[in-house]
Amino acid sequence: MAAVGTESSELVASQISRALEALAGRSIAVLTGAGVSTDSGIPDYRGDGSPRRTPMTFQEFTGDEAKRRRYWVGSHLGWRSFSSTRPNRGHRALAALEAAGTVTGLVTQNVDGLHLRAGSRAVVELHGDMRSVSCLACGTRFPRELVARRLERDNPALALPDGVALGPDGDVLPQSWEDVTVPDCTVCEGILKPDVVFFGELVPAARTRVAEQVVDDAEALLVAGSSLAVNSGLRLVSRAHRRGSPIVIINRGGTKGDGRADVKIDAGTTETLEALASALM
């Protein structure tokens, strides 16, 4: 009898072979989720063994000043750690596939900016990014670094501690936030919010249309590191399925899109994307 590890390796190799048959010779749209960034040190909050997470909703952020202070402290500490992460080999494999003309567009549910830093250019950041902050009242947009400097100036004790635990979306839970002064808009004194899509907040319609166009313009869809638990990503898989495009999903564990996939690869994204890129270029 073959060892379990051998059986597993043979199964993954077979799945990759089938994925190559589905993708070879076709232009590919890519949809990525948190699982692509785990090898960069950013934990996935939906997979098995992931840390428990209770994300703040848009309604809580806008309606409760105390919760807004809590969010800003956690978000700031996490952003400082978040900004030091680096793209991994999976990010770079996708960038190489784009440079080769095989990947024609990439939609990511991540807000970490790692695809752009890896060299991908045709990127739609479906849930926004952490690089900027906007006023909810007047719409003025500010660089995140500028707002971060104001936050630290007004709260000198708010320094990044050693060993801060980095959570999903760059958020960590602070020990205390009661006395924190949160920066407001310098134009109208309105509420500032990082340019990420909160739970309970809709993805902007124009951004959704661009993401849909990425899927429509390609001949196949590759999903990497997403459980597809969020409807914004699952809708894109459904769209590709309705068009009859081959769909390949790479994810450890099940996803809501498995029933629509032509091939499901139950393996890590980094090594699988490298294997696919090596064969497709």
Residue 241's identity, in one-letter code, is H
Residue 280: CA count within 13 A, CB half-sphere: 31
**Structure token pair of residue 268:** 């890590």
Catalytic residue among 76, 91, 127, 241: 127
> How far apart, in whole angstroms, are the C-alpha atoms of residue 30 and residue 281?
16
* Phi, psi for residue 193 in degrees, rounded to 5: -140, 130
Annotated catalytic residue 76: no
By C-alpha distance, which of 250, 248, 243 is closest to 217? 243
Q: Which residues are catalytic?
A: 127
